[in-house]
Amino acid sequence: MAAPAAVAEARTRDAALDRIKTVVGPKGWIEGADAMRPYTEDWRGLYKGKARLVVKPATTEEVAGVVAICHEFGIPIVPQGGNTSLCGGSTPEDDGTAIILSLGRMHRVRNLDPANYTITVEAGCVLADVQNRAADADRYFPLSLAAEGSCMIGGNLSTNAGGTNVLKYGNARELVLGLEVVLPDGRIWNGLRGLRKDNTGYDLKQLFLGAEGTLGIITAAVLKLFPKPTDVRSAFCAVPDVASAVTLLGRARAESGDAVETFEFMPRLVVDLVLKHFPDTHDPIQTRYDQYVLLELVSTSSGESDLAAKLESILESAFEDGLVLDAAISQSEAQRQDFWKLRENASEAQKLEGASIKHDVSVPVSRIAEFYAAALKKVMAVDKTVRLVAFGHVGDGNLHYNLQAPEGSDGKAFLAQWERFNRVVHDTVVEMGGSISAEHGIGRLKREELAHYKDGVSLDLMRTVKAAIDPKGILNPGKVL
C-alpha cells in the first residue's frame, strides 16, 4: 500500500493537472502514451521519453496560466515546437514527471509591417509559412533549413538555428528584433518591439534566444524581413578538395559583391546516399568526383540582373586555376530544385541508411580544411571501416561531421564506439578554436560534452542565470546544463 504522503502528493498532482486542463479547454490537451508518442519521441529515434500530459495552449495567456500552475506545484515543463531537435532538446526525460507544452496551436501572424521590414508571429508558426507570408508581401524571411516544413519559429529561436543562408543573413538570433516570453513563474515579459535601435539597458531577448527552453517559453517574436530576391543563380561544382572549396568561397564573395547566399559542401558519399534513398533525384554532373559545392548567388536589385554572367565568370577563372573541376549551372528553377534535393535530403538519407553519429561542429572558415583532414585521421585510427559523411555549411565554418556505420552492418558495434568518436572529433574542434555545437544546440545529447569542454567561468555564469530566472528548475530540466 502507498504511504499516505505519497497518496496525498498524487492527489495534489492530479488536481494540478485538472486545473491545467481547465485553463486550455478540451481541445488543448492530449493524454495516454500512444496519443502522446509523436511528442515524447525525437526525430532521430534516439530518445523515447514519458510525459504526464501534452498541453497545447492557444494563447499567451493560456501559456501563462499553465506555467503558473506548474510553478506552484513544481511540475517540470518541456517546451516543444516541431519536435525536430537533433539533440533530444524537445523530448521529456523517462521519469514521466513532466508535461510537454506544445506551441503548435499558436500560429497566428499578428502583424506584417512592410515599411518597417518586420513580421510579428506566434511561436507555433511553421518556418515555411513565415517565409511564404513574407513573400506574399514582397518581402523575404531568409532563415532556411531542411526541416522548414515542420519546425516552428519558437523552436528555431530557442535553438538559434542556422541553416543554409547564415553566410549572408546571420543565425536566427540575428533575425530577431523583439520577443514575448512567458517566464518560469508564469509572468509575461512583453519585449515585442520592432526597433533596430534600442539601447535601454540589457538586451533581455538575448537570454532566451538559443536557451533551448530552459529560461522561458517564447510565445511570439518580431522578425526582420529583407528585400525579396529578384534573381538567384545556382551552380553545382566539383572541387578537388576542401581547401579549394574555401578558396573558391573567398573569391566568389569578393568577385560577386558579396552576393553569395549559399555555400554548401557535400562529399560524393552524400550524393550517393541521397540518390540511393530518394528515387526522384539526379546527379547534376555525369562524371563522378570526390566532393562538391552548391554555390548560390542572389540579387535583390530591381534593375537588369547580371548575376548569370557573374557566376559564369567566377567559375571560369576558378576552373582555370584548378579550384573547380567541373560544374553544372542551373538553367531553370526546376533544375535548381534538383541541386537542392541533394543537399536537403542529406540528413534524411543518412537516417534511412542506418546508424550514424552526428557532430555538428564549427571552426574558423580558414581552418576547415585542416580540421577535416586532422579529424579524419583520428576517426580512422578508432575504426577504419566507418564512413565519413561530412557535409554542410562550409561558408559558416560549420560542418556536419557525421559518421555512418559501415555498409550492411547492424550498427551495434559502431554505436558502441560513440564516445570514442565524440572525443577525437571534439578534441580536434577545440584544439582549433572551434565549437562542439555550431547550430543544433546542446539538449540532452551534448550535455556532458558541454560540461567537459566549456570553461568553468562560462559554466558558472550560465548556472547563475538559470538559478536567477528559474530558481525552481522547472523549465526543460536536464537539458543544456
Residue ranges that bind ligand FAD, judged by CB under 6 A: 43, 78-86, 89-90, 103, 123, 145-147, 151-152, 154-156, 158-159, 161-163, 212-213, 217-218, 347-348, 439-440, 443, 476, 479
What is the smallest separation between the CB atom of 56 and ligand FAD, expressed in angstroms? 12
Nearer to ligand FAD, 53 or 161 (CB): 161
Q: Provide the residue type at 272 as one letter.
A: D
The C-alpha angle with vertex 157 and arms to 464 and 346, in degrees rounded to 5, equals 120
Query: CA-to-CA distance for 361 and 123, rounded, in angstroms?
Result: 27
Determine the Cα–Cα distance for residues 387 and 1; give it in Å rounded to an integer: 54
Neighbouring C-beta atoms of residue 420, cutoff 10 Å: 14
252: left (phi over 0), alpha (psi -120 to 50) or beta: alpha
C-alpha cell at 43: 526525430
In what order do the strands lie in the sheet containing 118-122? 109-113, 118-122, 217-224, 176-182, 188-191
Provide the grid cell at 104: 503548435
Cβ-based nearer residue to ligand FAD, 98 or 318: 98
Pairing of strands 99-102, 77-80: parallel
3-state secondary structure at position 438: coil
Q: Would you say 212 or 296 has its CB closer to ligand FAD?
A: 212
Q: Fill in the amino acid letter for 325.
A: L
Conformational region of residue 260, where left means phi above 0, alpha means psi within -120 to 50, and beta covers everything else: beta
Q: Return the number of the residue (318 or 363) whose C-beta is nearest ligand FAD.
A: 363
Q: Give residue number: closest CB to ligand FAD.
A: 155
The least CB distance from residue 108 to ligand FAD, in Å, is 14
Q: How far is the CB of 396 from ligand FAD (least distance, A)?
A: 10
Angle formed by the axes of helices 268-277 and 333-344, nearest 10°: 100
Rounded to a whole number of angstroms, the minimum distance from the CB of residue 145 to ligand FAD is: 4
> Least distance (Å) from ligand FAD to the CB of residue 155?
2
Least separation in angstroms between residue 85's CB and ligand FAD is 3
Length of the chain: 481
**CB closer to ligand FAD out of 98 and 328:** 98
Residue 257 CB, nearest distance to ligand FAD (Å)? 26
Q: For ligand FAD, give the closer residue by CB, 265 or 299.
A: 265
The residue (of 89 and 229) whose beta carbon lies closer to ligand FAD is 89
Instruction: Give the single-character DSSP code of 110.
Output: E
> By three-state DSSP, how is residue 80 classified?
strand
Report the nearest approach of ligand FAD to the CB of residue 287 (Å).
Answer: 28
Report how far apart the first and last C-alpha atoms of the chain are (Å, whole number): 37
Taking Cα atoms as reference points, which of 343, 373, 79 lies closest to residue 235? Answer: 343
> 158 or 330, CB closer to ligand FAD?
158
Considering beta carbons, is residue 148 or 338 the nearer one to ligand FAD? 148
Beta bridge partners of 122: 220
Q: Residue 203: which residues within 8 A CB-CB, separation 6 or more? A: none
User: Smallest distance from the beta carbon of 399 to ligand FAD, in angstroms?
Assistant: 12
What gap in Å lies between CA 93 and CA 99, rounded to an integer?
10
Residue 327 in grid coordinates = 560544374
**Residue 79: which of 332, 350, 392, 441 has the closest Cα?**
441
Nearest approach in angstroms of CB 434 to ligand FAD is: 16
Nearest to ligand FAD of 161, 225 (CB atom): 161
Question: Rounded to the nearest whole angstrom, what is the least distance from the CB of residue 176 to ligand FAD in the complex?
Answer: 13
Q: Which is nearer to ligand FAD, 244 or 347 (CB)?
A: 347
Q: Please name every residue paired with 113 in a beta bridge, in sequence order, or none if there are none.
A: 118
Q: Which of 254, 267, 256 is nearest to 233 (CA)?
A: 256
- Please give the radius of gyration of the chain, using alpha carbons only, rounded to the nearest integer: 23
